[in-house]
Amino acid sequence: MRHGYAIHMYTANKSMDNCAFCNADGDFLIVPQQGRLFITTECGRLNVSPGDVAIIPQGFRFNVNLPDGPSRGYVAEVFGTHFQLPDLGPIGANGLASPRDFLAPTAWFEDKSYPGYTIVQKFGGELFTAIQDFSPFNVVAWHGNYVPYKYDLSKFCPYNTVLYDHSDPSINTVLTAPTDKPGVALLDFVIFPPRWLVAEHTFRPPYYHRNCMSEFMGLIHGNYEAKVDGFLPGGASLHNCMTPHGPDTKSYESTIARGNNVGPHKIIDTMAFMFESSLIPRISQSALESPFLDHDYYQCWIGLRSHFTVPELKTIKTKE
């Protein structure tokens, strides 16, 4: 139907030798968590480190080399649309991800014979192979703006509340794949980078909530502010549409213990992200049967208790 998305988690222990991949179904957004990816495309090469993301548009052939050895990470795939910068609205011209920080490759080519070179093509959700005797990376030059590119997440300029209340995570959108309905995303790529928290009289971690979006979270490095235990780099969580979720018990209790008069606090050494969509994902059988599935995840909320107290009501006597 050319409308939808998929989320994958990848592991790789070997470079692609004498072969290339092409996705005829949609665009890839690749988020390495461990180990660099040296990606060769028909437009040139991209060196993508953990902390960077790479976008490979639909139809491009590419090859991945592992210069640091084994690699793992996350991939979002969108169908029927492309990733773009979000509308900044009242923010204006500056902030979030700046167009100047997205890097496209310099043209690079090779004119070599490669007997038995294999092209693996994803088409209609299935994989097909074709054999040729030359490199697909024989494009001498290119022009235009339909091109693979990369972005360094440390370049992101985050926005946050400066007085009270908690901002919606969409304020940290790096890229969005929109739908035809304004304000409703097919898939948003949102990050939670190092930043200052300064809100007064506010529960600063993400609120306990449920909403119309399905939220897939991953962690590139460090810790996530709302999960003290169990959420590790390379792991992931999925909270589907209208599924209640929020900070774990330890995060909640430590926040409450600090009281209302908390000074500015900087979150450091962290890079979490979220793939957020208005569409509900269907979980693959392999994911449900994975030996790494955390069947005790719900226990992070065991022990939550209310700290609400009813203020004492004062009786005021009036004359009749």
- The string over 32-41, giving b where at least 16 C-beta atoms fall within 10 Å of a residue's C-beta and e elsewhere, is bbbbbbbbbb
Q: What are phi and psi of 157, to 5 degrees?
A: -105, 100
User: Is residue 31 a contact partner of residue 74, using CB atoms and an 8 Å limit?
Assistant: yes
DSSP type of residue 47: E
117 marked as binding residue: no
245 marked as binding residue: yes
What is the Cα–Cα distance from 77 to 75, expressed in whole angstroms?
7
User: For position 229, what pLDDT does the model report?
Assistant: 79
User: For position 281, what pLDDT does the model report?
Assistant: 94
User: For position 29, what pLDDT does the model report?
Assistant: 98
Q: Report DSSP letters for 88-148, one per residue.
A: -GGG-SSSBS-GGGEEPPPP-----EEEEEEEEEEETTEEEEEEEEE-S-------SS---
In this prediction, residue 261 has a pLDDT band, given cuts at 50, 70 and 90, of confident
User: For position 280, what pLDDT does the model report?
Assistant: 94
Each domain of the chain, given as residue ranges in start order, spans 4-281
Question: Is 201 considered catalytic here?
Answer: no
In this prediction, residue 166 has a pLDDT band, given cuts at 50, 70 and 90, of confident
Say whether pLDDT at 316 is over 80: no
The better pLDDT of the pair 205, 38 is held by: 38
Instruction: Tell me what percent of the residues of the chain surpass a pLDDT of 90.
Output: 83
Instruction: Tell me what percent of the residues of the chain surpass a pLDDT of 70.
Output: 98
Q: How high is the mean pLDDT of the chain?
A: 94
What is the Cα–Cα distance from 86 to 107, expressed in whole angstroms?
28
Q: What is the pTM of this model?
A: 0.94
CATH topology of domain 4-281: Jelly Rolls (2.60.120)
Say whether pLDDT at 320 is over 80: no
The SS3 assignment for 33 reads: strand
Out of 124-133, 165-174, 193-202, give the one with best mean pLDDT: 124-133
Which pLDDT tens digit goes with each residue over 56-108? 999 999 999 999 999 999 999 999 999 999 999 999 988 999 999 999 999 99
Rounded to an integer, the average pLDDT of 16-40 is 98
Q: Give the list of residues 6+ apart from residue 168 with CB closer than 8 angstroms, or none.
A: none
Residue from 166, 201, 265, 295 carrying the catalytic annotation: 166
User: For position 24, what pLDDT does the model report?
Assistant: 97
Rounded to an integer, the average pLDDT of 136-156 is 97
User: For position 272, what pLDDT does the model report?
Assistant: 96
In this prediction, residue 310 has a pLDDT band, given cuts at 50, 70 and 90, of confident
User: Is residue 107 a contact partner of residue 43, using CB atoms and an 8 Å limit?
Assistant: yes
What is the Cα–Cα distance from 241 to 232, expressed in whole angstroms?
23
What is the Cα–Cα distance from 260 to 208, expressed in whole angstroms?
18
Residue with tokens 């988020």: 31
